Structure 1
Amino acid sequence: MDAAVSPILISLKTASASILTTFFLGIFAAKLVVGIRSKTLKMILDAVLTLPLVLPPTVAGFFLLYLFGVRGPAGRFFLDFFSVKIAFSWGATVLAAVALSFPLMYRSARGALEQVDPALAHTARTLGMSEWRVFWQVSLPTALPGVAAGGVLSFARGLGEFGATAMLAGNIAGRTRTLPLAVYSAVAAGDMDTAYRYVLVIVAISFAVVALMNYFAAKGAKP
C-alpha cells in the first residue's frame, strides 16, 4: 500500500466500519431511552450514553486503553480466549471511532424519534401491528431524515477522531495511522507539503458531509 494513500484508506475503512456499528447501536439506544417512562432513569441513562461526547478524547481513550489494553479486563479476555490483541491494531481505530461517534448518532436518533407524532404509532397499534413493526414501519421511516443526518455526522466524527485513536491504536504507519494522525505526523516531521495534501482531503470530505447534512435537514423540514 502506498504510504501516502495509506492514511486515507485506513480512515475510510475505519469510518465505514464504525458507522455500520454506531448507526444501529444509536437507533437501538434511542428507542430504549425514548420508551422509558421514568424521567429520573431516562436522565441518568441519557447522561451515561452522552458522556463520551463531552469527555476530552484523550480521557475517553484512556478509559478504552484501560479496558481493552493487554492487561485490561476486556483486552485480556479477547487475548486469552480468541488470541486477538485489540490495542494498537486496526480494530482499535474502529473501537475508538465507535466510542466517540456513538453519542452523536444516539442523540440525533433520539431527537428524531421524539418528534414523531404519537398518533401515527397509536393508529398503527389499533390496526394490530406489534411494537417492533410499529417502530420499523412507522416511527423509524418517519424519523429517517433526522436519523440519516445523525449517521452522516457520526461518520464524519469517526473519520476525524484523533485523541482516543492515538491512545488506543497508536500511530503505526500503514496500520493505524489515520488522516488526523497523518497530518500530525507530517507537521511534526516538518513535511508541510504532505500535511497540506492530507488537510485538503479532510476538508473535501468534511464539505461533502455538511452538504449531505443540509440535504437531510431540508428533506426533514418538508411538510
Structure 2
Amino acid sequence: MFDLSPLSISLRAACIATFIVFVLGTLAARLVLGLKGKLASFVDTVCTLPLVLPPTVLGFFLLVLFGKHGPLGALLSQFGQSIIFTWYATVLAAVVVSFPLMYRSARGALEQVNSEHVWAARTLGMHEGSVFLHIMLPEAWPGIMAGITLSFTRSLGEFGATLMIAGNIPGKTQTIPMAIYFATSSGDMRTAWIWVGLMMLLSFLSLGFSSYLAARREQ
C-alpha cells in the first residue's frame, strides 16, 4: 500500500510554518521600515541572510543551537523536551528557510503603501497599531499574499536543513522531498515520479491561487 504520510507531514509543516513566517516576516518588515541608517541595514541583512545561505549551513546552525549540547537544546532538555529529529524540527527548518521570502515580500509591499493615507490616519489620532492593521496591511495585502504563497511553496520543498535537524524518519519526519530523494537513491523511480508529480501539482495550485486572488483584487 502506498504510504501517504510524507504528504500529510509536508502539508502540516508547510501550513504551520507559513503562518509563523507570515506573522514574523510582516512584523519584521514593519520594524525595519521604522529604523534608519546602519541599524536598518544590519537588521535587513540578518533577515535576508537565510535566503542566500545553503540549506545545509542553516541546518548546521540549527543543529548547534537546538542540539543536545546547544544553548537552546540544553534549555529545552531541562523541561524534558527536544526538537531535534522530531516533527517540530521539520516546521523549524521550514520557518527558517522561508522567512526571508515573506520578509522581503512584506517589506516591498509596505514600502508601496500610500504615505498620505498613513499620515492622514495619524493626524486623525489613530495609534500605530491601528494604522498598521487598518491602513498599511490592507493596502499591502497583494504583496503580502505573494509572500505567503512563496513561503508555502518553499516550505513544501525544503530538504537540506530538514535532513540535518529532522532526519528521514518514515511516518514522523519524512517529507515529500525526503521521500523523493530516498526513493531515487533506492532505485524506486516509480515512487519518486509520483512524489515529484504531486509536488509540482501542489506548487502549481499554490501559485495559481495566488494569481487568482491578485486578479480579483485588481477588478
TM-score (norm. length: structure 1): 0.94
CA deviation profile, 1:52-89 (whole Å, cap 9, x unmatched):
01000000100000001111110111111x21111000
After TM superposition, the structure 1 = structure 2 runs for residues 58-97 of structure 1, keeping only pairs within 5 Å, are 58-80=56-78, 82-97=79-94
Pairing 1:31–2:38 present: no
Alignment coverage as a number of residue pairs:
219
- After TM superposition, the structure 1 stretch with the greater mean CA deviation from structure 2, 40-49 or 110-119, is 40-49
Pairing 1:102–2:99 present: yes
Name the residue aligned to 1:114: 111
Q: Post-superposition shift, 1:39? A: 2.4
After TM superposition, the structure 1 = structure 2 runs for residues 1-223 of structure 1, keeping only pairs within 5 Å, are 4-36=3-35, 38-80=36-78, 82-218=79-215, 222=218
Q: How much identity, in percent, do the aligned residues show?
A: 53
RMSD, matched Cα: 1.4
Residue type of the alignment partner of 1:199: V
Q: Post-superposition shift, 1:3? A: 6.0
Gap regions ≥5 residues in structure 2: none
Please say if residues 3 and 174 of structure 1, whose CA atoms lie closer than 8 Å, have aligned partners that are also in contact: no
TM-score (norm. length: structure 2): 0.96
Gap regions ≥5 residues in structure 1: none
Please say if residues 105 and 153 of structure 1, whose CA atoms lie closer than 8 Å, have aligned partners that are also in contact: yes
The runs of 4+ residues in structure 1 deviating greater than 4 Å are none
Residue type of the alignment partner of 1:84: Q
